[in-house]
Structure 1
Amino acid sequence: MVRPIKTAVFPVAGLGTRFLPATKAMPKEMLPVVDRPVIQIAVDEAREAGIEHFVFVTGRNKSVIEDHFDTAFELESVLKARGRQAEIDRLASGLPKPGQASFTRQREPLGLGHAVWCARQLVGDEPFALLLPDMVMHASPGCLRQMIDVYEARGGGNVLAVEEVPWDQVSRYGVVGAAEWQGNAFSVTGMVEKPRTQEEAPSNLIISGRYILQPDIFAEIEKQAPGAGGEIQITDAMIRLMARQPFHGLKYNGTTYDCGDKVGFLSANVAFALDRPDLAPGFRAALRRILGTDIP
């Protein structure tokens, strides 16, 4: 029997140095895409996929993330006094239910693998989803929902969301090899973390920030020594786990925006604004004035 995916881990301890000075006092995960923080978009994606336990791996100066997923009594009192029930309802709709959110600390910046390992006690002995909030997915249904469908159809295992990039960019990412395609899903035949040359890359399919992992990954991370930059890479642990468990890939239907990058962040704002019926007409008019031409 395939065990259901009910827990999601969100690593949110990063310093956001690529967005300084904006992230000097504000976590990068709270940067807004239109009017939703980046972390809220990831949580909404997980909730749509049926996630019931949201685990946040935080760091110093990240308490505002915890506050964001809590009730704001003072704000709601002001909104209620002003008769703004729609805003109150919208705030409530973005909150996990009582007891569904857990927070733990990554005390040292030792990489994504270490951040995932810090969540081991909260995850327990169950398969879980891992969502990197920087990677904002514009998809319907959401990327994680698509991944869970593959997970269930293939009888469990581990699932990675992937996308194609130009070959001259593969050295920036974790890259997978693919075989036995069925629609957009395939069997992962190998992984390379940031291949130094195009010849080292098994394909131009990169891991795009969404994972479904079995709890055995924690033991693989724990035995791992720090690698490049003194960080513990999740890809290295997955490569070892592949020797014992199947990994599946999904070239998901949608678009990824790297919101840890300024151009990616701006692109996400454009895409999500154009997708909003209440904003799209005015936003198109503004773009027309800026660009001097209509956009598709």
Structure 2
Amino acid sequence: MSTPPKIGSIKPLVAAAFAGALLAFSAQLFIADDSDQTQKILVMENRIRALEALLDQKDQQLKNTNWLSLQSRSTTNSNGVAAKLARTANSDLSSSLDENAQYGTAVAIDSGQMLKNLGTRSIDDPRSFTEKVSDLLAQDASQEKVAIVSKGIFDMANDRENLPDYALQSLYTKQSDPDVKRVIAQVLSQRGNNALMENHLSDARTQLKSDDPTARQHALQNLAKTHYVNAVSVIAPMLHDADINVRLDALLAMRATGNQSHLALVEKLVNDPDPNISSLAIDVAGHLRNLSDSARTTLSSADIAAELPIIPHP
């Protein structure tokens, strides 16, 4: 009677599967854009963890198989049962490892390829960048696609030929996602045109008039992401909102958009009777005190990059 494989016999298979997946992934990283590498590494790490969990599961199956094999030696009708179970377990493991490794690679390529396709014109796809963005979000404005589009706009901030100012303005009017609209406005502001940023502030003023404190908080959180100094004029009145959570978010928004010239607005709250307000006001005042009066009057690439939506992966 044949003896089923021991647990250790599947280790070379696992090692080979991992090695193959990592080699394939390394080859992709070698040719990929630098901006995609970190996300691809995270994807592969997630897949490796999934493979390790799968390995534990299959190890347990093989342990059960070995136990069945020992039991079968005392009967005359059990010949071949354990061997069949062992072959099935090994076959399932090999197949699952291959499928998971290939899936992890496919996910890593997908988002990166979509991002690359946005900024590349070819004979096969002569659409402009703005046309591709509109088509992509019209099909499905998912979190992933919003993040990809936002990153694509940021990457083309200095490419006025393929993404001129008028194209940014047209794209802004056609979009509804607040993250995409903010990034478009920030990129145009970085180029020296604050028209869309002022539109963004006007929309925020409307949202801050809402009777719902949660809506006002959300508007303040979005204003904080702009890192735009003119946003202070919209944020400042909310420092005295009736809702304490709105006031706290207003302080955080001041911290993200203001500079030393706005210090007095925050210092008024340092002795607020609510300890949450006073302690945060002290922190924000200390932060603004270290910024010059000219800080944040011009948006930097770092300001925009810090608030880009993260491209999610399963």
Fold match, TM over 0.5? no
Structure ranking higher in helix proportion = 2
**Range into which the TM-score falls when normalised by the shorter chain:** under 0.3
TM-score, normalised via structure 1 length = 0.23
Structure ranking higher in strand proportion = 1
Q: Which has the larger radius of gyration?
A: 2
